Structure 1
């Protein structure tokens, strides 16, 4: 990028630990508690399986709507500014929700409050996520051949948060919904403050052309189409995410209603899955050093497909927990492959827009999964999960068969 001004999110920061890893860790913990805790909050407040599935969909629909704006704004304003404002706004929304639930702990007001909270926090979380991912990708580019190690570290941070977040949210929910929301509020405020610790560069920031949401998404879509390796991998993972999203949306209903466990067992389920994913990410980091991206990605794809097919037929809570853990561990390996590939291939000046388009495509199945959960009777969730697992297996097989000789995964 010689001869031009370096985009703000592509400049060196004050250090990986203080400028990238620490803000990402606090933000990831707040996000994990919000993503997994609010559906539990809905189930506790309303006692309705249908509303729980609807809340999951409401978390994801605003996220999808926010991606076009998020990518364009990060490219234009810089990652740290967007990170700060998104985390601060989420803290204010959570604080308002905590006050409402303290005053009206049940009834129509409580139900409307928690559903609105699901939609609001979902959108704001995606702004902070795009900003954090953009900053992490800039660090990966500076790491050059060791980019997968930076991405593995970032994914390890996310999975550590996913290990602690669901369990912590479930435990805090036992003390009361306002208490859980208050803790997430404090973490969001801390994330906003840590985002300010990255010192501003003395170089004037580059301004991306001002445009609307669709313009940013069109730029990202054109970039994905120009990178066949990235396009095939995104297509396969999109089908895979339908099965994964259905498991996430349906798990509170399956664990509580079908297996007869408590809401704490739901938190334990996702904490165990996050622990398995964290181990998987660590192993994949060294496996990619030795074998390369394609063999590791293909192996993880096979494991994910088999585990999801078996999860739909799980006879008890323990076997369901183990299968979900294996599935999420395999998904973690696939995430390392995807993050490394996109940080390697996407041009820095279009990274925010392309990242937004990529994640928008990948997350489209999640609100669909929430709607499926809301419309499916609890006793029929197993066959629906199995059907989605077949789609997952087909999508991943076609993607990695196409990528077997692609130089982008062999370099």
Structure 2
């Protein structure tokens, strides 16, 4: 009996597991599929993939590029990434020692945190935040410290940042352009962040996945360009959004050769390598697509943004108009429901359009109320016809 009890007591989930729940983004995608709705909840980016990228991946499969690659990715892709960093980000990186091809930006973030941070460390995260960033930290028993940005422009407040620092702070996670707010940090804001990171000797882990999705004349700026930041910055990006290949799981990062062996080790441990033939596909994309491809991505998505924001305004759901990425946070407190999840499901029931509760991207205030409870996030990276249908349904929605 004692042995049976002992065995039973060992058959349990980890200490972390009870506090982990399915992403609200995925939950809404499931709910949307159940009613055959239009999914503006998940950033799937179902616009067309550039033809040269698809053809190169198919050719790579037929050519037998179906085995493991080097842990850091195929040489031609690392070289193409280094050229892209120089051309677009004004960053000089060595493709052999400072570039790692990863299994999505998520894989890049996980490997970076495993390599550079310890359980019990603290990491500053700006709010509204991308939920996977927080979940990655918590899965490693790293404490996220939330620093709210000021709505509706999501302005950066240096004083709030200073109140967040403690002796346990090791890093700042930056997401610009931001999911879910669409905020693009200005060069002045990044200079203030860089000075803060240098003063307190912090890593900066910057997720720049949406770097080509910028609007209204706004320009993307990489914090690693600033003096003193190259050694302490890990710059993460990827191909999921730019080439509309979210299911390919291909990202990359650049970091000092001082940190790269450890980051590469942990990426190898979890993922082994990014998918081999797909690496060949995105290499062709980087090398063959003209510069106006990237400017057209921004122009096309600015039009999509304006279509969605117009519909939200018509419905009385005031949007915070983004200057980057492809999401809109809208004020939906007038929709019946006790919280954002109920409001999202009410909107789905009435219109067949899925959005995500803002609470997935915010923490709670001193009274325990989630700061994003009155918001919903909508994704506008959809084909024009489907987005137009979603916009028509939203505009016709009456509370």
TM-score (norm 1): 0.30
Greater helix share, 1 or 2?
A: 1
Structure (1 or 2) with the larger CA radius of gyration: 2
Larger RCO (alpha carbons 8 Å, 6+ apart): 1
TM-score (norm 2): 0.30
